[in-house]
Chain A
Amino acid sequence: MKFLCVECDKVMDFAERQIPGDGTLAAVFTCGSCDREIAMLTNPMETQLISSLGVKIGGREVPAQPMELARTSLEGGRDDAFVLSEDIPLARGESALASGEAATPGAGTSTGRVVWTSEATSRLERVPNFVRGMVKRIYTDWAREKGVSEITPESMDRARAELGLEGM
């Protein structure tokens, strides 16, 4: 999808993405030549079509999580369908050994220790278990990247704002 400024015959550049409500997705594009702005507004079905592709207009702040589309889209997901690998250290170790990888928690990313306060944990527990593991990992990875050693409700708010975590 591209927007062409007809007057300038220039492709407009993506500027901003918003979800103002009612299932609307707003994507603002700007003409680099005449500064004209337009907003593309999608209806709920069109918004869903875009999210069904597993993409975000304007790019992703957080890398796509394993089975993110299924987890965020399925109605009636099984509460105990997933168990976090870090919650079963033996299985994780065996799995890592089987694949020839070092069994280091957080391998591949910064490995700094991140502690969740009880308030943050309580808030996380309000997230349905079906997606909780994925959400926890997103916050933890954000904290490691930012050098945040303790996750609090306030830092969760900050992460949400920075990462554009709608509904998490």
Chain B
Amino acid sequence: MRKIRTYKDVTHDTGSGLFEQVVDQQHRLADRLAHVRAVVAVASGKGGVGKSAITANLAAALASRGLAVGAADADLNGPSLGRMLGVSRAQLVDGPSGVAPALSPSGVRVMSMELLQEEEDAPLRWREPEMGGFIWQSTLETGVLREFLGDVEWGELDVLLVDVPPGTDKIRRLLELVPDLDQMLLVTIPSETARFVVAKSVRMAREAAVRTVALVSNMVGHTCPECGHVSDLFTGDGGTRLEDESGVPVWAEIPFDQQFGAATDSGIPLVITDPDARSCRAILALADRVEERLGIQARDAVETAGS
């Protein structure tokens, strides 16, 4: 049998230009992110744990301290960050070097698939062959996420928060694009099922050597608005047990708060309108941890101190 050389054995370039184009894409992304001090993923692996609401409130909290904050909605199929930050129908300014993000009333620069879709109730569809989506869809969506990160004129940012949809594959997708992620906040709830799923994400983050990994335990207890009694919504102790088992610290325990959800639905994060609410105090404490670990200060403050 004839011996055919391997791909790597054959070093001669075909002239098809594919490799150069992929490298160019990587450079564009790297050049854009070079102006971002820290990229922080808000992920879970589990759905329905409140990642987007936490991302929106955390972004607004950090922006309220004078930090330059961006929020990229990596959930292309179920985008909600635009709505939660009050920029649902905002227009994007189309310039030669990039697309300017929407600016939320709380001062957060936002990019979300929601801003690109005409019909609110339209599921995400691509204008491509109806069959065989399993072959190309993931590749296309990774490419679009790359554009959200690399083709948006984020400007000089202190923090870019990325709201990652459920599924560890989506975390991997982000890590392929941004391998040197600064922080990954893994949101869980105190249920055994959530612990089971989020543990997989913890492992993935560790294997990817993400610099800082922390847990955010959401929906921890519910305060009755009538009598003030605090009761548990779940029987498990997901966040605490996961912390014990994995050694990944819980940075915040956020109580279930009806107003937190209602405000987020309205497009004005509660952390802006009622920072003293228990849920918002937890978000502000989380913002402290994020800031402290990143060692960042507002750009204006740094520039003033240095001048």
Contacts and interface: CB of A to CB of B under 8 A. Distances in A.
B147 A52 contact: no
Nearest to B119: A76
Contacts of A92: 93, 95
A83 interface: yes
B22 A55 contact: yes
A6 interface: yes
A82 B128 contact: no
Interface size class, chain A: 35 or more
B144 A78 contact: no
A73 B128 contact: yes
A81 B4 contact: no
A2 B21 contact: no
Nearest to B128: A48
B298 interface: no
A86 to B, nearest CB: 9
A4 interface: yes
A11 B10 contact: yes
B237 interface: no
A74 B155 contact: no
Given A83-B94, A84-B94, A95 B100 contact: yes
Given A48-B128, A137-B96, A59 B147 contact: no
Interface stretch (B110-118, B188-196, B277-285): B110-118
Interface in B137-195: 137, 139-140, 143-144, 146-148, 151-153, 155
Contact of A56 (B17, B93, B116): B17
A137 B94 CA distance: 10
B129 interface: yes
A35 B182 CA distance: 52
Given A48-B135, A76-B117, A70 B144 contact: yes
A85 B143 contact: no
Interface in A66-109: 66-70, 73-85, 88, 91-92, 95, 98-99, 106-109
A16 to B, nearest CB: 11
Interface in B196-240: none
Contacts of B136: 45, 48-49, 52
Given A60-B17, A70-B144, A91 B93 contact: yes
Contacts of A3: 14
A85 B136 CA distance: 32
Given A4-B4, A59-B17, A74-B126, A82 B92 contact: yes
A76 B127 CA distance: 9
B305 interface: no
The residue among B95, B122, B132, B144 with the most chain A CB atoms within 10 A of its own CB is B95
Contact of A81 (B20, B115, B132, B155): B115
Contacts of A67: 99, 147-148, 151-152
Interface of B: 2, 4-5, 7, 10, 12-18, 20-22, 24-25, 28, 91-100, 115-119, 122, 124-129, 131-132, 135-137, 139-140, 143-144, 146-148, 151-153, 155
